[in-house]
Amino acid sequence: MDEEPRIGIYVCHCGLNIAAVVDCDKVAKEAAKLPNVVVSKDNRYMCADPGQELIKQDIKEHKLNRVIVASCSPRMHEPTFRKCVESAGLNPFLFEMANIRELCSWCHIHYPEEANEKAFDLVKMATAKARYLNPLEVIKVPVTRTALVIGGGVAGIHAALDLADMGFKVYLVERSPSIGGKMAQLDKTFPTLDCSICILGPKMVDVARHPNIELISYAEVKHVEGYIGNFKVTVVKKPRFVIEKECNGCGECANVCPVEVPNEFDENLGFRKAIYVPFPQAVPMKFTIDREACIDCYKCIEACKEQGRDAINFDMKEEEIQLDIGTIIVACGYDLYDASKVKAYGYGLYDNVFTALELERMINASGPTQGNVIRFSDRRTPKSVCFITCVGSRDEKTNIYCSGFCCMYTLKNALLLREHYPNVEVNVLFMDLRAPFKGYEEFYRRAREEGILFLRGRPTEIYEHPKTKNLVISMENLSTGEPMDLETEMVILSSAAVPTTGAEKLARILTVSRDASGFFMEAHPKLKPIDAATDGIFFCGAAQGPKDIPYSVSQGSAAASRSGRIMAQGEWEIEPIVAFVDAEKCRNTKVKCGICVTKCPYGAITAEEGKAALVNTAKCHGCGTCVADCPSNAITQRHFTDAQIIAQIHAALEEKPEEKVIGFLCNWCSYGAADLAGTSRFEYPSDIRVIRVMCSGRIDRDFVLEAFKKGAGMVMVSGCRFGDCHYISGNYNAEKRIKPLFAMLPRFGISPERLRLEWFSAAEATFYVKLNKEMSETLKKLGVERIRAENEKAKPFLERMLQQSGG
């Protein structure tokens, strides 16, 4: 763009969210003095209609060709304002945002002076970048009208059915031999006590029958590549040793099988054969051979042949299926916390301590006891039962979070027990009983009405009576304040929900992040509760956090509509922040180079011998690793150009550079953590000036050197934890590039502790805060004088190095 930049700056008060700490009026007035700034205003709510109108008017009136809004995180409102400037006829990429809320006002509440200084710096940095902004055209990619649902629990089933009804092709991948998930194991559901399998069963059958759904059971997702609308997914189908097409589920094979093993579906209370279906209503109704238990007697083959079929094949091998997918829904659910880890409660040690899911199987008419609740030790119906809540939750030793639905299922189990055995004494031991949704408090009331006794207090430990095998619970009766021993014949532990096994692996396959508890992390806790940070991937059900059935079902439907929204359009706009090669500068024309080809994690770059390298824009995800690693500076990332980033560095370090930290944060993890620190209102020192890049792989060594040359006190380079990189390998490349600096800097006279290379996830706001405190300590320890002296000494070296690399 050749025309002179005409910049408009808008400082948002965000009500009092920003204005309470930052003097917005002053910031706007000061910003007006910056070069190329034509208008500079402050406003109560920039994102509201009047605010947006103001921008549109000014663009017309003052012929603005750059717009800057200083308000919240770009992860929040960047799309809003881009649309706004676009409607006024300006290219949306000529808009830039300064994050003075999450990164400034919210985290320096008690230090308004420093906050003001920082806010102005952030605006100045945005302005500096804005001068170098270029108009960009969005890239449109086609969208495959096929969805993949991972996990066939109640949430996944609903997501799949809804999408299929919308007319999209759906692949439903389920790990176990049958769909149904945890809900299939339950006896009844709260708060209305309908039979669980009776309401779930028909839905499962619908899945099997729906012409648009292809159910791939006993299979796992092995590999995912590609991007929104164009995912390539590899699914591994485990061998069933039973040919699905041939098996009609008659069960003769199981009748002759000599091996009995505990049935996982019955929580190992009952047994199944080595050839089995987990439960009578299983979908698909196909048998599976458990080769771990099978003794290769081949009796099943005989039995199958007697039925005139030949469904069993012991030579079956693992099978890989390739799928072209438009959107992915993750519904992999939860596991129950292993109660035996809470040793004090004696699960696994004492016979008559059960988990809630075990009770659920016992009380179920088709369970291992045909609906009888009995004790392990003497097979007698207990005269008294105690329920203990919060096992493995709300405890810093196990899981700090509240698992949400345990209170309610405890109530349900207590009521069911009361219904089956009116004379059994039922006690519920609880700390807080949480019954917050529709009909739940009424359910709690009903439980009290039925004579279930509620005792407040968290049991300390449980012992077994050596003779009667009764259990003695030590606890404080909180209403009297006295310790007491409660003797009961059976204890039911209400275990918390924890991320399912394999969630970690799946997160890596999909390159999506998980929160501190290990559940999948949504893009925004309030406004994008279904979306992953990666476009085209959605979460529903307990994969995202512990949830009850109604909530899981609504999330399943929500995920279906979110992904249907993308597939219905047939094409999708992706941000044009891709890399492009300047053919004149590329040295591959002269020598064999191809470094960029090896660095690109997506295989988006090709470099034929003698020709300049070429970027396939549709394949490029825009991490910028190739840009930073190009030896001849021939590659540029649009919207994150070297010139833009260096302008930001210069702007940040104009005043008092020795007291400042230049922080390079990757968009997905470290910037996310910084945002979270803000939303959580964690306070930390204000020394840091944040420069956002898409990936740590974009961070050029020259940026660090440039910052020190300009006198920066410290530099921090940060990205996602290893294995979590949003662009697969960006952080590994960043580490390879930045790490040598620790050895190099001391040779120039710069203390190595002035450079930090840190990896943390978007959930680790506390780590980000700790890091900032540490860096502030380091700055204080070294002192301005020493830093200045070091920088002076290093300057000639730095200049020489920068010249060499052409930066």
Partner 1 sequence: MAEKEMPEELKELVKEKVHFCYQCGSCVGSCPTARAIPEYNPRKMMEKLILGEWEEVLSAKLIWLCTMCHTCYEACPQGVGISHIVIELRNLATERGLAPVGFLEGAKQMAATGWTTQLTGAAQRSRTELGLPEIKAVNTEEIKKLMKSTGFRFAQEDERE
Partner 2 sequence: MSWAERRRGEIVKKDEENRTTMERKLLLRWYELTLDRITCLGCGICSDNCPKEAIKHLPAEFRGIKAVSRPSVDFDPEKCVLCGECVSICPMDALKMWIEQAERVPVIEMNVFATATRKRW
Partner 3 sequence: MSYAFFPGCMIPLRLPYMESAARQALAALGVELVDMPNASCCGDPISFQSLNKETWMVVAARNLCVAEEMGKNILTLCSGCYETLKTANVELKRDQYLREKVNKTLSEVEREFMGTVEVKNLLEVLLEIGTDKVKKRLVRPLRGLRVAVHYGCHLVRPSDILNFDDPMKPTTFDQFVGLTGAESVSYLKKMLCCGAGLRMVDAEKASKLVDMKLRYVEQAEADCMAVLCPYCMIQYDLTQRMIKRESGANPQMPVLYYPEMLCLAMGIKPQELGLRHHRTNAEPVLKKLGLSA
Which residues contact partner 3 (rule: CB under 8 A)? 343-344, 346, 349, 461, 463-467, 472, 474
User: Smaller CB distance to partner 2: residue 491 or 734?
Assistant: 491
Which of partner 2, partner 1, partner 3, none does residue 735 bind (CB under 5 to 8 Å by kind)?
A: none
Tell me how far, at minimum, the Cβ of 461 lies from partner 3, in Å.
Answer: 6
> Alpha helix (H) ranges present in 180-258?
181-185, 196-209, 252-256
206, 225, 252, 476: residue in contact with partner 1 (rule CB under 8 A): 476
For residue 49, state whether it binds partner 1 (rule: CB under 8 A).
Answer: no
Q: Residue 237's beta-bridge partner residues?
A: 219, 319
In the chain, the amino acid numbered 791 is: N
Give the whole-angstrom CA distance, residue 456 versus residue 584. 76
Compose the 369-388 pattern: x for residues touching partner 1 by CB under 8 A, - for all others. --------------------
Tokens of 571: 């094409």
**316 interface partner picked from partner 2, partner 3, partner 1, none, CB below 5 to 8 A per type:** none
Which C-beta is closer to partner 3: that of 463 or that of 767?
463
Which C-beta is closer to partner 3: that of 366 or that of 384? 384
Pick what 49 binds: partner 1, partner 2, partner 3, none; C-beta below 5 to 8 Å, kind-dependent. Answer: none
Candidate residues 323, 475, 693, 798; the one interacting with partner 1 per rule CB under 8 A: 475
Least Cβ distance, residue 96 to partner 2 (angstroms): 58
**Separation CA 606–CA 614 (nearest Å):** 5
Q: Are 539 and 330 in contact (CB under 8 A)?
A: yes
Residues contacting 746, CB < 8 A, separation 6+: 752
What does 482 bind: partner 2, partner 3, partner 1, none (CB cut-off 5 to 8 Å by kind)?
partner 1
User: How far apart (Å, rounded) are the C-alpha atoms in residues 254 and 680?
Assistant: 56
- C-alpha–C-alpha distance, residues 149 and 329, integer Å: 5
* Beta carbon nearer to partner 3, 48 or 349: 349
Binding partner selected for residue 406 from partner 2, partner 1, partner 3, none, CB under the kind-specific 5 to 8 Å limit:
none
Residues making contact with partner 2 (CB under 8 A): 256-262, 267-271, 274, 293, 295-299, 340, 343, 348-349, 358, 362, 368-369, 374, 376, 379
Distinct helix (H) and strand (E) counts, the chain: 21, 36
| Candidate list 1, 48, 365, 478; residue touching partner 1; CB under 8 A | 478
Q: Report the nearest approach of partner 3 to the CB of residue 345 (Å).
A: 9
Residue recorded with tokens 């439960």: 279
Is 55 among the residues that bind partner 1 (CB under 8 A)?
Answer: no
**Could you tell me the two tokens for 472?**
């003695």
Closest alpha carbon to 47 in 92, 79, 21, 24: 79
- Those residues whose C-beta lies under 8 Å from the C-beta of residue 688, and which sit 6 or more positions away, are 660, 661, 662, 663, 716, 772, 775
> Which uninterrupted H or E stretch holds 328?
strand 327-330
Q: Which of 394, 562, 599, 639 binds partner 1 (CB under 8 A)?
A: 394
The CB-of-388 to partner 1 minimum distance in angstroms stands at 12
459 binds, among partner 3, partner 1, partner 2, none (CB under 5 to 8 A by kind): partner 1
CA angle 457–462–468, rounded 5-degree value: 125
- Enter the DSSP assignment of 474: E
Binding partner of 476, given partner 1, partner 2, partner 3, none, CB within 5-8 angstroms per partner class: partner 1
Residue among 206, 395, 535, 735 that touches partner 1 (CB under 8 A): 395
Closest separation between CB of residue 390 and partner 1, Å?
A: 8
Asked whether position 482 contacts partner 1 by CB under 8 A, the answer is yes
- Peptide bond connecting 284 to the previous residue in cis, omega within 30 degrees of 0: yes
Residue 770 touches which of partner 2, partner 1, partner 3, none (CB < 5 to 8 A by kind)? none
From partner 2, partner 3, partner 1, none, which one binds at residue 465 (CB under 5 to 8 Å depending on kind)?
partner 3
Nearer to partner 1, 460 or 468 (CB): 460
What's at 733, amino acid-wise?
A: N
Please, which residue, 89 or 258, has the CB nearer to partner 2? 258
CA–CA dist 196, 271 (Å, integer): 22
Minimum Å gap between C-beta 369 and partner 2 is 6
Question: Which of partner 2, partner 3, partner 1, none does 467 bind, CB closer than 5 to 8 A by kind?
Answer: partner 3
Shortest distance, position 349 Cβ to partner 3, whole Å: 6
Token look-up 């209609």 returns 49
Q: Quick one: which of 80, 91, 340, 474 contacts partner 1 (CB under 8 A)?
A: 474
Is the backbone peptide bond immediately before 191 cis, with ω within 30 degrees of 0?
yes
Q: Residue 281, by phi and psi: left (phi above 0), alpha (psi -120 to 50) or beta?
A: alpha
Helical residues (DSSP H) of 132-221, grouped into ranges: 154-166, 181-185, 196-209
User: β-strand 353-355 against 661-666: which pairing, if any?
Assistant: unpaired
Which entry of partner 3, partner 1, partner 2, none binds 472, CB below 5 to 8 A by partner kind?
A: partner 3
Which of 766, 758, 762, 757 has its CA nearest to residue 673?
762
From candidates 35, 89, 211, 481, binder to partner 1 by CB under 8 A: 481
Nearest residue to 119 (alpha-carbon basis) of 21, 214, 211, 185: 21
- Write the DSSP assignment of 277-305 as a string of letters: -SSTT-SS---EE-TTT-----HHHHHHH
Residue 670 CA from chain centroid, whole number: 14
Name which of 106 and 347 has its Cβ closer to partner 3: 347
Nearer Cβ to partner 1, position 477 or 778?
477
Rounded Cα–Cα distance for residues 243 and 460 (Å): 52
Which of partner 2, partner 1, partner 3, none does 458 bind, CB closer than 5 to 8 A by kind?
partner 1
Strand (E) or helix (H) holding 614: strand 614-615
Q: Which is nearer to partner 2, 374 or 744 (CB)?
A: 374
Q: What radius of gyration do the chain's Cα atoms show? A: 31
In the bound complex, what is the minimum distance in angstroms from residue 457's beta carbon to partner 3? 17
Binding partner of residue 362 among partner 2, partner 1, partner 3, none, CB cut-off 5 to 8 Å per kind: partner 2
- Binding flags for partner 1, 320-359, as an x/- string (CB under 8 A): ------------------------x---------------
Residue (476 or 654) nearer to partner 1, CB = 476
Point out which span in 321-329, 470-478, 548-556, 621-629 binds partner 1 (CB under 8 A).
Answer: 470-478
Q: Does 461 bind partner 1 (CB under 8 A)?
A: yes
Look up residue 265 and give its DSSP letter: G
Cα–Cα distance, 371 to 361 (Å, whole number):
8
Q: Which does 478 bind (CB under 5 to 8 A by kind): partner 2, partner 3, partner 1, none?
A: partner 1
Identity of the residue, 344 or 400, whose beta carbon is nearer to partner 3 in the bound complex: 344
Residue with tokens 């230049």: 662
Pick the closer one to partner 2 by CB: 164 or 294: 294
* Under rule CB under 8 A, residue 307 binds partner 1: no
| Residue 332, token pair as written in the block | 């992999």
Separation CA 78–CA 47 (nearest Å): 10
- Closest CB to partner 3 among residues 457, 713: 457
Q: In this structure, which amino acid lies at residue 79?
A: P
The secondary structure of 487-519, three-state, reads EECEEEEEECEEECCCHHHHHHHHCCCECCCCC
CB 690 within 8 A of CB 99: yes
Give me the least distance between CB of 378 and partner 2, in Å please. Answer: 12
Q: Report the candidate in 615, 564, 617, 528 with the shortest Cα–Cα distance to residue 229.
A: 564
For the window 421-460, what string marks contact with partner 1 as x by the rule CB under 8 A? ----------x------------------------xxxxx
Applying CB under 8 A, which residues contact partner 1?
A: 344, 390, 394-397, 431, 456-461, 474-478, 481-483
